[in-house]
Amino acid sequence: MVSSGGTFQDAPRQARRQVDTSATTEDFTGIWRIVGGRFGIEERNDPSTPVGPQISLGGFDGAAAGLPLTELGQAEIDAFQIEDNPWYRCISKTPPWLFAFEVGAHRIKLDGDTLSIRHEINDVDRVIHIGMTNHPTDMQPSHLGHSIGWFEGETLVVDTAYFTPTQWGTGGGVSSSAQKHLIEWLTLTEGGTRIDYKYTLEDPVYLTEPVTVSFRLGLDAGYPFQDQYGCDPKAASRHLGR
pLDDT the model gives residue 240: 59
E strand segments, the chain: 2-4, 30-34, 106-111, 114-119, 124-130, 146-152, 155-161, 166-171, 174-176, 181-189, 194-202, 211-219
CB 156 within 8 A of CB 29: no
This prediction has a pTM of 0.83
Burial of 107 (0-12, 13-18, 19+ CB in 10 A): middle
Q: Provide the CA 207 distance to its chain's centre, in angstroms.
A: 16
pLDDT tens digits in sequence order for the chain, 242 residues long? 655 543 333 344 444 555 444 444 578 999 999 997 655 666 655 454 444 446 777 765 678 889 999 999 999 999 998 888 887 778 888 999 888 877 889 999 999 999 999 998 878 899 999 999 999 999 999 999 999 999 999 999 999 999 999 999 999 999 999 999 999 999 999 999 999 999 999 999 999 999 999 999 999 999 999 887 766 555 444 555 65
- What pLDDT score does 60 carry? 59
Contact of 150 with 133, CB cutoff 8 Å = yes
Give, as one character, the DSSP assignment of residue 43: P
| Structure confidence at residue 122 (pLDDT) | 76
- Contact in structure between 92 and 119 (CB atoms under 8 Å): yes
pLDDT of residue 53: 41
Domains and their CATH numbers in the chain: 22-222 (2.40.128.20)
Q: What per-residue confidence (pLDDT) applies to 39? A: 57
How many Cβ atoms sit within 10 Å of the Cβ of residue 9? 12
Q: Is 138 within 8 Å of 147 (Cβ atoms)? A: no
Other CB atoms within 10 A of residue 113 CB: 12
Q: Which residues of 169-180 are buried (b: 16+ CB within 10 A; e: fewer)?
A: bbbbbbbbbeeb
How would DSSP label each residue in 166-211?
Answer: EEEEEETTEEE-TT-EEEEEEEEEGGGTEEEEEEEEE-TTTBSS-E
Distance CA 158, CA 155 (A): 10
Q: Rounded to the nearest 10 degrees, how much is the dihedral formed by the CA atoms of 6, 144, 223, 32?
A: -20
Instruction: Please give the Cα distance from 33 to 27 (Å, whole number).
Output: 16
Per-residue pLDDT, 5: 45
Asked if 65 and 73 count as a contact pair (C-beta separation under 8 A), the reply is: no
